[in-house]
Amino acid sequence: MRILVVEDNPDLREQLTKSLEQAGYAVDAAGNGEDGQFLGETEPYDAVVLDLGLPKVDGVTVLKAWRAQGKATPVLILTARDRWSDKVEGFDAGADDYLAKPFHTEELLARLRALLRRAAGHATSAIDCGDLRIDTRAARATINGEPIRLTSHEYKVLAYLMHHRGRVVSRNELVEHIYDQDFDRDSNTIEVFVGRLRKKIGQDRIMTERGLGYRLIDPAETPSA
């Protein structure tokens, strides 16, 4: 899952970026509203952490612009303002959640997980596909309760497929959502990660839809030929 952080405080921006990366997300960051708005318009993100008090273009204006363009990406607003009227303005502009500074990083991570779950139609931090489960809070995967050892990129691929289980996901979509903007992207590496995942979770869980992409399924729900 790929997150955009738009925050002008360099220390907080770096802290958030590191915390999100440690939690298993690909992260892009911007230090002003102009750059943040551009990234949000041109890159596909799963969620955005957006400060309101930004230089060049303020956060509410950025958010209104995204929503006017039909961008439905979940947005968590950060602000040092604590007036109820500011919260109302943020929500009316299209925010999905609100967090006042100062805050605990764990709370921000929990709110982001909730936004991502709701956007994908999941109710809890544990997402199941048969006996395969990922715990988005701990960033780990299990089969029948037994932990699976995954690299960070293997987990990112699996987590994205789990969030969108049953739907065909193209290689390009995976590339766009597991790598940050500065990563040397190569869609061919997705085949490598999928191949490794199949060895660890079972060959019959990730189907290849020729010319389209991959689809995660529960083998127990697939009718036998």
Whether residue 102 has a cis bond before it, omega within 30° of 0: yes
Domain of 191 in residue numbering reads as 126-221
* Helix, strand and coil in the chain, % to nearest 5: 45, 20, 35
Q: What is the pLDDT of residue 31?
A: 96
Say if residue 115 is in the same domain as residue 133: no
Say if residue 111 is in the same domain as residue 136: no
* Dist. CA 64–CA 89, nearest whole Å: 10
State the total domains in the chain.
2
Say if residue 177 is in the same domain as residue 145: yes
As averages over each run of 10 residues, the pLDDT of the chain (225 residues) reads 96 96 93 97 95 94 96 92 77 91 93 89 84 91 94 93 92 89 72 94 92 91 56
Q: What is the pLDDT of residue 222?
A: 60
Say if residue 135 is in the same domain as residue 114: no
Say if residue 142 is in the same domain as residue 108: no
Q: What is the pLDDT of residue 184?
A: 63
Say if residue 107 is in the same domain as residue 84: yes
DSSP for residue 149: -
Q: What is the pLDDT of residue 157?
A: 94
Q: What is the pLDDT of residue 185?
A: 65
Residue finishing a domain among 78, 96, 120: 120
Burial class of residue 166 (count of CB atoms within 10 Å of its CB; 0-12, 13-18, 19+): exposed
CATH number at residue 70: 3.40.50.2300
Say if residue 97 is in the same domain as residue 38: yes
Residue finishing a domain among 60, 90, 120: 120
The predicted model scores a pTM of 0.78
- Residue type (1 letter), 115: L
Residue finishing a domain among 120, 152, 182: 120
Say if residue 180 is in the same domain as residue 106: no
Q: Which helix (H) or strand (E) holds 126?
A: strand 126-129
Question: At 26, is the secondary structure helix, strand, or coil?
Answer: strand
Say if residue 155 is in the same domain as residue 91: no
CATH number at residue 132: 1.10.10.10
Say if residue 201 is in the same domain as residue 158: yes
How many CB atoms sit inside 10 A of residue 25's CB?
A: 24
Say if residue 115 is in the same domain as residue 132: no
Say if residue 36 is in the same domain as residue 82: yes
Q: What is the pLDDT of residue 187?
A: 67
Q: What is the pLDDT of residue 84?
A: 74
